[in-house]
Chain A
Amino acid sequence: DVKVTQSSRYLVKRTGEKVFLECVQDMDHENMFWYRQDPGLGLRLIYFSYDVKMKEKGDIPEGYSVSREKKERFSLILESASTNQTSMYLCASERGRGGETQYFGPGTRLLVL
C-alpha cells in the first residue's frame, strides 16, 4: 500500500512566521505535488516536482516555495505566513508521468493568526 504522510495534521502559526510543511512517501514515486484546498474552490496546485532537486510552479505559487532534496520527501515552505494562507494543504505522490493515480496524504490544516 502506498503511504503518504504529512508532518502535522493541525498547525497554528502567527503572521510573518516561516512555516515548513513536510511530506514523505514510501513508494519510490518520481512525482510529488502540493495542493491547497479551500471550500468551493476544490484543490489548487501550488508546486510539483518530477525529480529530486527539480521543482515547477503550479497554478498558485505566490507566497510559497518548495524543496526536494531526497526522492521521498517534498517540503512546502511559507516564507512569511499570511492570514490568506490559512487553508488545508494536501500532498500527493505519483509514479511516472501521464495520467497515473495520485496518492494523497491526510492533509495539514494550517491556521495563520
Chain B
Amino acid sequence: AQSVTQPDIHITVSEGASLELRCNYSYGATPYLFWYVQSPGQGLQLLLKYFSGDTLVQGIKGFEAEFKRSQSSFNLRKPSVHWSDAAEYFCAVSGSARQLTFGSGTQLTVLP
C-alpha cells in the first residue's frame, strides 16, 4: 500500500524567506509524485509533478521539488516566499493502483 507523510502540520515564514515543505512517501517502486496547493475556499491546484527523469522538478509560481529515492522524499522548495503563497500544501503519491494518496497537508503562514 502507498502512503504519504507530511511531518509539518503548520509552518510560518517571513515574506522573502526561503521555504521547504517536507514530504515522505512509502511505495515499493518508483511512484508518481505530486504537490498540490489549496488557497482558502478553493479547490486544489497542481504545483508540479514527478514521473521519471530529472529528479529536480520545476513547477508553477516559482516552486520546485526534488525526488530523492534513497530518502523516499519529495520536498517542495521556494527560494523567496510571497504573501500570496499562504495556503495549504498537499503532497500526493500515485502508484500501480493509479489512484492518488494524499498527505495530511501543511498549512503555510507568511508573515509580512
- A residues neighboring B (CB under 8 Å): 4, 33, 35, 40-45, 48, 58, 90, 92, 97-99, 101-107
Contacts and interface: CB of A to CB of B under 8 A. Distances in A.
Give the interface centre of B9, B98, B105 by most chain A CB atoms within 10 Å.
B98
Interface in B5-57: 6, 9, 32, 34, 36, 41-46, 49, 51
B99 interface: yes
Give the interface centre of A33, A43, A106 by most chain B CB atoms within 10 Å.
A43
Contact of B98 (A44, A90, A97, A101): A97
A103 B43 CA distance: 9
Given A104-B44, A106-B43, A41 B49 contact: no
Given A99-B32, A99-B49, A99-B51, A42 B102 contact: yes
B94 interface: yes
Given A40-B104, A42-B105, A99-B51, A107 B90 contact: no
B100 A45 contact: yes
B43 A4 contact: yes
A42 B23 CA distance: 13
Nearest to B50: A99
Contacts of A41: 104
